[in-house]
Structure 1
Amino acid sequence: MALLPRLRQLMRRPSSASRVGARRPTKASRRGDTLHEDALRSMLSDDPNNERAFQALAEIVRRRATEQVHEEDPLTAPNVEHERERAAELAVWALGEELAGNPRAWYPLIELARLSVDDDHDGTIRRLTTASERDSSGTALAQALALLCEAGQPVEALNLGVGHWRPREHDPAVARQLVRAAVQAGRPLEAKQHLASLDLYPDQGAVAGLRAELTREVARAEQSITGT
């Protein structure tokens, strides 16, 4: 079952149902995990876009969720590994939604989009758009474009990038993702236009290597289309 329908199904269950991702009572938690989790949550409270802290905390809630799926449970025994995987995803989803409530948070939205990209197109684009708008550096936008391209949606990546990229201000990594999205979409001319926008970046020395790299990629794309 896809993640979002599964999440909605769990939300409709009576309150006595499994609470994946919820913290166990302290007496049932391993002390090391509890202390580590508290430290990670404190770090994420200060910086909700701390990727390493998010991933470490996600691993804790993921492990806890899988431990709550028992093989002897007659409802899950026939497909216990699948249920554990889903429980882990739902736990990370709950964590992402919790942290995304911070108006400064963009990375949790990227992770939510990663979980929803296969079964909630509109929601994914909405989350990636919000993430891009919350981050003035362009890092969120670059990650959003990469996520869409990895999911086989380069046109959606181009639409998002064109609407939000600020070549003078943003991390040049956005240019890399836009050029690659255009190449993946079979639009080498558009790729060249995005490549040319690197001329607007204030520190031209810093993007010289990137420009050369992308120029080669665009040239290969043009050759593959013309067959020369």
Structure 2
Amino acid sequence: MTYCVAVRVDQGLVMLSDTRTNAGMDNIARFRKSFTYHVPGDRAITMLCSGNLSITQGVKATLSKAIKESALDPGIETILNCDTMHRVAQIVGTAMQAMQQRYRENIEMGGSASSGASIMIAGQRKGGKPRLYLIYSAGNFIEATEDTPFFQIGEHKYGKPILDRIIKRETSLEDATKAVLVSMDSTLRSNLSVGMPLDLTVIQRDIFDFRVRTRIEADNEEFARISQSWGAALRKGFEDLPNVLD
């Protein structure tokens, strides 16, 4: 399993994913779930993946092949040359649909796995606003709004409470980053199928580049301080609660 979270606020976008893939207690591996695409001065895009690994890797391969071929034939439309972020989501959705149509029946007939997969696409292109989309297995998708400024895929339930309390459209990019890190920390503590290292990406509005694009390893001191400080704050808050028993 995995956990990926993406947030859209007025100042930009924050994306975080783990790297653990669990196909049974004795078959745990690390695979990158976060992928970035960039045209300097024009667009910055991050893709986060969850679900059947063969399906999501197939989608990524389809996108990469089109990008490579477009270098020789500029008429080929890709996520790096299309007109809008909405069109980016459509291209990814079409690739997802093609992978499902090609492999779903055989995968599910095998009985060992589901072909279900989800992808989040977050980014901004020049002339547009920061956008965030959640793409389903069928290739259809929804967009984050002011009422729903974040999406989660994978093991999302443990990390949702902090996002519900903190994330609003006016939340600063710094606070949004802290919130997704706390959200991941809560998930790591409660679910063994989610694991380090983590991939963090931050896109600041109207920069068309990555303000942060880094891997957080298990020995990262800054993440450890956030985890420890959040745990201490929770314990202090609990101790300060009024007693309900005489």
The TM-score with structure 2 as length reference comes to 0.28
Query: Which of structures 1 and 2 has the bigger CA Rg?
Result: 1
User: Is the strand fraction higher in 1 or 2?
Assistant: 2
User: Is the helix fraction higher in 1 or 2?
Assistant: 1
